[in-house]
C-alpha cells in the first residue's frame, strides 16, 4: 500500500510538472488591447536584436478590448514589444520575459506616458540641458517612395559630430517598402541620411523623431 501511494504521488507530480516544462522556452503570448483605440501594427523581437523586424499583425488589426495570439519561435524568452495605434502613437515594453506570461496588456500603464511612445520620467524639470531636449521614443518606420532602392541608412543625434554605423546592416529597402528603424529611448532630435543604389543621398536635419511614426523619402 505504501509503495502504491509513492508511485501514484510520483506520477501525479510528473504530470503536474509537464505543462511548466512545455512552456518554459515558448515566448508566444496574447497581445491584449485595452488602450481605447485600435492597434494597427505590432512588433516583437528578442531584446538582443538591433531592429524590430516585420509587423507581426500583417493585414490584421487589434480593436480595443480584443486580443491577438502572437506566435513566436521557441528559444529566446526576453523580448521587446512595440505597438502602433491608429493615431500613429506608439508604445513599447522592454526586456519582457514572455515565457513567463500568457497575456501582455497595452493600455494599462501608469505614470503619464506621452504621445509618440514617450517614456515616463524621461527628465526632471530644471535639470539642465537634458530638460530642454525632448525625451521619448525616437523609433520610426522608414518609407521608401523614391523610385530607387535605399542601400544605407544613418540616424544620429543632431548633437553628434558623425553619422555612425549604417543602421540597415545587410538589409536594403526597395522602392515602395517600409523598414522599422529601432532607436534607443531618450533624446528625440535626430539627423537622418539615406544613400540610394546609385550612390546619391538625401538628408533630413533636426527631426523630432518622437513625433514621427513614418518618415518618408522623398
For residue 113, the model assigns a pLDDT of 37
For residue 176, the model assigns a pLDDT of 93
pLDDT in tens, 131-187: 467 888 899 999 999 999 999 999 999 888 888 899 999 999 999 999 999 998 888
Specify if 111 maps to a domain.
Answer: no
Structural domain count of the chain = 2
Specify if 3 maps to a domain.
Answer: no
Give the residue from 52, 71, 106 where a domain finishes.
Answer: 106
| Cβ-based burial of 148 (10 A; exposed 0-12, middle 13-18, buried ≥19) | middle
List the CATH number of the domain containing 146: 2.60.40
Specify if 93 maps to a domain.
Answer: yes
pTM of the model: 0.47
The domain in which residue 205 lies consists of: 129-217
Burial of 88-104, coded b for 16+ CB within 10 Å and e otherwise, reads: ebbbbbeebebbeeeeb
Residues 82 and 36 placed together within one structural domain of the fold: yes
For the chain, which ranges sit under pLDDT 50?
2-23, 109-131
List the CATH number of the domain containing 28: 2.60.40.2890
Specify if 202 maps to a domain.
Answer: yes
Specify if 76 maps to a domain.
Answer: yes
Amino acid at each position: 500500500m505504501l509503495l502504491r501511494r509513492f508511485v501514484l504521488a510520483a506520477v501525479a507530480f510528473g504530470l503536474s510538472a509537464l505543462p511548466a516544462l512545455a512552456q518554459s522556452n515558448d515566448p508566444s503570448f496574447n497581445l491584449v488591447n485595452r488602450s481605447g483605440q485600435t492597434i494597427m501594427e505590432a512588433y516583437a523581437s528578442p531584446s538582443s536584436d538591433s531592429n524590430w523586424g516585420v509587423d507581426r499583425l500583417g493585414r490584421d488589426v487589434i480593436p480595443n478590448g480584443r486580443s491577438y495570439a502572437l506566435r513566436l519561435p521557441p528559444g529566446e524568452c526576453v523580448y521587446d514589444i512595440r505597438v502602433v495605434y491608429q493615431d500613429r502613437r506608439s508604445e513599447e515594453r522592454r526586456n519582457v520575459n514572455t515565457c513567463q506570461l500568457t497575456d501582455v496588456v497595452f493600455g494599462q500603464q501608469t505614470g503619464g506616458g506621452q504621445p509618440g511612445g514617450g517614456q515616463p520620467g524621461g527628465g526632471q524639470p530644471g535639470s539642465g540641458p537634458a530638460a530642454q531636449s525632448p525625451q521619448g521614443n525616437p523609433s520610426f518606420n522608414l518609407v521608401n517612395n523614391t523610385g530607387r532602392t535605399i542601400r544605407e541608412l544613418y540616424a544620429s543625434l543632431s548633437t553628434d559630430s558623425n553619422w555612425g554605423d549604417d543602421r540597415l546592416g545587410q538589409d536594403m529597402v526597395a522602392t515602395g517598402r517600409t523598414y522599422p528603424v529601432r532607436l534607443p529611448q531618450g533624446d528625440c532630435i535626430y539627423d537622418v541620411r539615406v544613400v540610394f543604389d546609385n550612390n546619391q543621398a538625401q538628408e533630413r536635419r533636426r527631426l523630432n523623431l518622437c513625433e514621427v511614426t513614418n518618415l518618408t523619402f522623398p
